[in-house]
């Protein structure tokens, strides 16, 4: 009987044939990492393998870890088993992980999105026999507008705020969303200042991407010098004491979760801009159909409802327990500076 290339264990997704884990949530000897977000790239592994572009942020967040950088589309071998990384389009360096053995192909998506955000290398979806997919936004209520429309909404909000002498504050995850905003927002409406946590991530990515002229927020910055400013903060940055001197603040959150009114209310922000680094419902369906997988395993997100939907449209789909988290939880682990 054929055994699965990948199995789910108490430490993480495991390839027994290669004795390697994918994004393990407990310390292991050898881990292949899909991307540098904290719930996928954790402390304590003896050896890490990840795409070259993930390496600087992993070192920034994890310290002096033993990490081997590999390229997309270039197979490498672990104990005789072939692995290949492909761009996942989620954040800089994010990768799909493909395992190939004796004609059998398994693909683990990590986190992924279909839309080209202009800064992460766009997704290169793969065909496979077994697909392990996230489904963070696997409900039909989650459908994203093209990002140009959302950035236009953000810019007109910022322009309005400037005309009324308000300071614009936008909450965005420090790795991924913040850089996507910086890359796509034009600084015509005023200066942009970022929280020190975001500045540190930008610095770690400086050999890979540049983010224009951006200053770092600090207690000694005088708001008079920054009329019409936009401040980009991680969600955990809202308590920073120095915000008080920036006058009347207009706040917004940039997240896929802003698609629902309840989440906007819970976040206590003036505006919610619906922009996500994950696939929306339609993109998940598109990618899963493209994969032609015989077997689909849904991990984090709306797993039960979404896998039921997949079964209804003819897929052999089920769920498995993982310890990946929603980004807002991982974000709160970033230190508040
Ligand atoms: Zn992620």
- Which CATH number does the domain housing residue 258 bear? 3.40.50.10890
Distance 202 CA to ligand 1 centre (A): 17
CA–centroid distance, 321 to ligand 1, in Å, is: 17
155 and 262 part of one domain: yes
* 291 and 216 together in one domain: no
- How much distance in Å is there from the Cα of 74 to the middle of ligand 1? 22
Paired with 130 in beta bridges are: 106, 295
Q: Looking at the domain assignment, is residue 2 inside a domain?
A: no
Q: Is residue 223 part of a domain?
A: yes
pLDDT of the residue at 328: 47
Any residues with CB less than 8 A from the CB of 224 and at least 6 apart, and which? none
Q: Which of 5, 189, 146, 153 is nearest to 81 (CA)?
A: 5
Asked if residue 46 belongs to a domain, the reply is yes
- Is the same domain home to 187 and 252? yes
Between CA 335 and CA 234 the distance in angstroms is: 10
Q: How far is the CA of 12 from the centre of ligand 1 (A)?
A: 16
Question: Are residue 253 and residue 315 in the same domain, yes or no?
Answer: no
254 and 289 inside one domain: no
User: Mean pLDDT score of the chain, rounded to an integer?
Assistant: 92
pLDDT band at 337 (very low <50, low <70, confident <90, very high): very low
DSSP code at position 112 = -
Rounded to the nearest angstrom, the distance between the alpha carbon of 277 and the centre of ligand 1 is 8
User: Cβ distance 98 to 126 under 8 Å?
Assistant: yes
Final residue before a domain boundary, out of 226, 256, 273: 273
Identify whether 337 is part of a domain.
Answer: no
> What are the two backbone dihedrals, phi and then psi, of residue 128, each rounded to the nearest 5 degrees?
-165, 170
- pLDDT at 79 > cutoff 50: yes
Q: Decide: pTM greater than 0.85.
A: yes
Domain shared by 130 and 161, yes or no:
no
Interval between CA 281 and ligand 1 midpoint (Å): 17
**Structure confidence at residue 186 as a pLDDT band (50, 70, 90):** confident
Mutual angle of helices 196-204 and 177-184, in 10-degree steps: 80
Q: Which band of pLDDT confidence, cut at 50, 70 and 90, is reported for residue 93?
A: very high
- Calculate how far, in angstroms, residue 102's C-alpha sits from the geometric centre of ligand 1: 30
Please tell me whether residue 185 adopts helix, strand or coil conformation: coil
pLDDT tens for each residue of 228-253: 999 999 988 877 778 889 999 999 99
Domain boundary among 233, 252, 273: 273
Let me know: does 179 contact 148? Beta carbons within 8 Å: no
Question: Are 151 and 210 found together in one domain?
Answer: yes
Q: CA 43 to CA 179: how far, in whole Å?
A: 24
Burial class (CB in 10 A: 0-12, 13-18, 19+), 225: exposed
CATH of the domain at 75: 3.60.15.10
The last residue of a domain, from among 254, 273, 292: 273
Whether residues 228 and 304 share a domain: the answer is no
**What range defines the domain where residue 79 resides?**
7-141+278-332
| One domain for residues 290 and 306 | yes
* DSSP assignments along 45-75, one per residue: -SEEEEEGGGHHHHHHHH-S--EEEE-BT--
Taking the centre of ligand 1 as the mean of its atom positions, its distance from the CA of residue 166, in whole angstroms, is 32
Contact 297, 318 (CB under 8 A): yes
pLDDT at 237: 81
The pLDDT, as a whole number, for residue 1 is: 45
Query: Do 103 and 122 reside in the same domain of the chain?
Result: yes
Q: What confidence tier does 213 reach under pLDDT thresholds 50, 70, 90? A: confident
Q: Are residues 236 and 284 in the same domain?
A: no
* Judgement on whether residues 41 and 134 belong to the same structural domain of the protein: yes
Give yes or no for residue 301 having a pLDDT over 50.
yes
Instruction: For residue 172, give Cα distances in angstroms to 116, 203, 319.
Output: 18, 17, 29
Q: Does the structure show a pLDDT above 70 at 2?
A: no
154: tokens are 């953000």
Domain-embedded: residue 1: no
């Amino acid at each position: 009987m054929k055994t699965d290339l990948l199995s789910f264990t108490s430490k993480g997704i495991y390839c027994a044939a290669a004795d390697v884990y994918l994004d393990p949530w407990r310390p292991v000897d050898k881990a292949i990492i899909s991307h540098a977000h904290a719930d996928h790239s954790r402390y304590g592994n003896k050896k890490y393998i990840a795409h070259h572009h993930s390496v600087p942020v992993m070192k920034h967040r994890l310290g002096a870890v033993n990490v081997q950088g590999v390229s997309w589309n270039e197979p490498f071998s672990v104990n005789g088993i072939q692995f290949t990384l492909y761009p996942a389009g989620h954040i800089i360096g994010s990768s799909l992980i493909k395992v190939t053995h004796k004609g059998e192909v398994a693909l683990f998506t990590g986190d992924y999105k279909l839309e080209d955000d202009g800064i992460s290398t766009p997704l290169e979806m793969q065909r496979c026999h077994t697909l392990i997919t996230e489904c963070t936004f696997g409900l039909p209520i989650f459908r994203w507008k093209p990002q140009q429309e959302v950035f236009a909404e953000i810019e007109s909000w910022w322009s309005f705020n400037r005309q009324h002498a308000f300071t614009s504050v936008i909450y965005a995850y420090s790795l991924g969303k913040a850089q996507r905003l910086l890359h796509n927002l034009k600084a015509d409406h005023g200066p942009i200042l970022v929280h020190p946590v975001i500045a540190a991530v930008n610095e770690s990515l400086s050999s890979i991407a540049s983010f224009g002229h951006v200053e770092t927020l600090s207690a000694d910055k005088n708001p008079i010098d920054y009329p019409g400013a936009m401040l980009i903060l991680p969600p955990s940055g809202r308590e920073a004491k120095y915000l008080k001197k920036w006058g009347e603040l207009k706040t917004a959150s940039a997240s896929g979760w802003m698609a629902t009114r309840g989440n906007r209310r819970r976040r206590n922000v003036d505006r919610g801009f619906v922009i996500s680094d994950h696939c929306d419902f339609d993109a998940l369906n598109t990618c899963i159909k493209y994969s032609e997988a015989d077997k689909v395993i849904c991990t984090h997100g709306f797993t039960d409802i979404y896998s039921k939907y997949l079964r209804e449209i003819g897929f052999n789909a089920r769920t498995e327990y993982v310890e990946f988290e929603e980004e807002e939880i991982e974000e709160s682990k970033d230190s508040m500076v």
